[in-house]
Amino acid sequence: MFERRRQTVYEQPNEQNQKLIANVGKGAGIVVVVLLAIYLLAGSIYSLKENEYAVVTTFGVPQIVEESGIHLKVPYVQELRKVPKTINGFPIGYDAETDASIASESFMITRDYNFVNVDFYVEYRVTDPVKYLYASENPVGILKNLTQSYIRDTIGLYDVDSVITTGKSEIQASIKEKIIGRLETEDIGIQLVNITIQDAEPPTAEVINAFKNVENAKQGKETSINKANQKRNEDIPAARAKADETLKTAQATAEERINEAKGQVARLNELYAEYQKYPLITKQRMFYETMEEILPGMKVIIEKSDGTTETLLPLESFVDLSGAQVSDTAQASGGNTAAQ
């Protein structure tokens, strides 16, 4: 009997432990289920930004999602990959972080067998996210390889002066056109937006200085040409205005002389008409008028009886003097007569 009691006493704690263990097991199961549900729920929800594509693959079949916001997918059944819509880029010829030159990418040879270091920056964007992810293993790497190839081919068609100074825009446009055409052929879901020459210079400092001097001379030439054009634009209107003024003055003078000539013709016609009526009187009148114009400017030389000469100038003084002498002589004669 004692043993039965003792067994009963021992059995009561065991039942309680079993209940406790059962409750703990139920709680752990609930926690596991909740955690699993949270994990599955978290794996079935994804957020998409406005500048992103989402490519959801279901049993190998991709589907593009472009609308931003919260979306659902089936965990472990559907695979999600995000692709940026924005324009991205990469450098060629230098390290974007350290700005250190990469000689294997930038060192090139020109048409005139000169060496030059040229740095580029390439900008691209994804046009087809499915082809971008699955049409090739590394579309950006393909773009970079194509770009480097076309850069070297194009630089080799130009001389060093064009590469460093005047031909940059033409070189960029030519490379861009070639790459765009090749990407359309490859069809890997990526498009070239722009390619820009960041820097172009010879590999030695002496040559760099020489090209800088050439560039400064060209800029000085352009400045002189611009100044000359400005001066020409200022002088040409002034010269045209002066020429117009001279022309108008000449026209006015011509009209004045023509009118004067017409007046003289009319006067001569009147004189001719008078001459036809009274020839002798008209001749005498014309003679006297001519003498009035000529004689005041003439020299009068009088030769005396002793062989000497005397010049009287002008004639008007002689006339006045002769008149005065005649008057004095007349008065003297009158006085003598009166005295007699």
CB atoms near residue 308 (< 10 Å):
8
Q: Which two tokens mark 222?
A: 């352009």
Q: Where in the chain is the domain with CATH 3.30.479.30?
A: 87-203
- What percent of the residues of the chain are helix, what percent strand, and what percent coil, each to the nearest 5? 65, 20, 15
pLDDT of residue 32: 65
- Report yes or no: 151 and 172 within 8 Å, Cβ to Cβ: no
Instruction: Give pTM, 2 decimals.
Output: 0.52
Cα 313 from Cα 328, distance rounded (Å): 21
The dihedral region occupied by 76, where left means phi > 0, alpha psi between -120 and 50, and beta the remainder, is left
- Report yes or no: 106 and 117 within 8 Å, Cβ to Cβ: yes
CATH superfamily of domain region 87-203? Band 7 domain (3.30.479.30)
Residue type, 122: V
Q: What does 2-44 look like in DSSP terms, one character per residue?
A: HHHHHHHHHHHHHHHHHHHHHHHHHHHHHHHHHHHHHHHHHHH
pLDDT of residue 90: 95
Written as tens digits, the pLDDT of the chain (340 aa) is: 444 444 444 455 566 666 666 666 666 667 666 666 566 555 677 788 888 998 888 888 888 888 888 877 777 778 888 899 999 999 999 998 898 889 889 989 899 888 899 999 999 999 999 999 998 989 999 999 999 999 999 999 999 888 988 899 999 999 999 999 999 999 999 999 999 999 888 866 666 677 677 778 878 888 899 888 888 888 888 888 888 889 999 999 999 999 888 888 888 888 778 778 878 887 888 788 888 887 776 666 667 777 666 555 555 554 444 444 444 444 444 444 333 3
